Amino acid sequence: MGMHLPAFTKFSRTNPLVPGADLELPARQLWAISAGASLWLVDLEPYEECRVVGVVKRLRVDPHHGHIEVTIDDGTGQVAARWTIRRNAPQLALAPGTAVLLEGLAVAGDDGRLTLSEPGFETITYLSSE
């Protein structure tokens, strides 16, 4: 089980994606990259295979439509991930506040938002900046 994150703190660091650029970056964004994300959520495009990292903000269980959905946030943006409910529903371990790595294809959902459909997932540990 991933650990809960500390508050959203900001500190000044060099942007790891743009060598030499000195930007004020939220700790969570730096952590997302260090934890293995291929991009930040703000840069996510439809029909793109991606590996993203974030903190679960919401877990939605919808038995009527037969799916479980989580919304994650990496400090730059949010994305939803959706799975069909199967036996044991392992996605229920993704409690709000849990850090998670998702890997899959981003598609535009019914409401126009980008959604990762049936992505692989893994709970991870927050790498503290301290």
* Interacting residue with another protein among 33, 59, 105, 124 (CB under 8 A): 59
CB of 120 to another protein, least distance (A): 19
Q: CB nearer to another protein: give 20 or 88.
A: 88
Q: Rounded CA gap, 76 and 67, in Å?
A: 26
Among 57, 108, 118, 122, binds another protein (CB under 8 A): 57
* Closest listed residue to residue 43, CA positions, set 34, 33, 35: 33
Q: Among residues 46 and 60, whose Cβ is nearest to another protein?
A: 60
Output the DSSP codes for the chain. Answer: -PPPP----EEEEE-SSSTT-EEEEEHHHHHHHHTT-SS-GGG--TT-EEEEEEEEEEEEEETTTTEEEEEEE-SS-EEEEEEE--TT-GGGG--TT-EEEEEEEEEE-TTS-EEEEEEEEEE-------
Q: Does 10 participate in binding another protein (rule CB under 8 A)?
A: no
One residue of 42, 89, 108, 127 binding another protein per CB under 8 A: 89
Among 24, 110, 111, 130, binds another protein (CB under 8 A): 130
Smallest distance from the beta carbon of 130 to another protein, in angstroms?
A: 8
Using CB under 8 A, pick the residue from 97, 108, 122, 125 that binds another protein.
97
Site residues (vs another protein, CB under 8 A): 1, 3-7, 56-65, 68, 85, 89, 92-93, 95-98, 128, 130
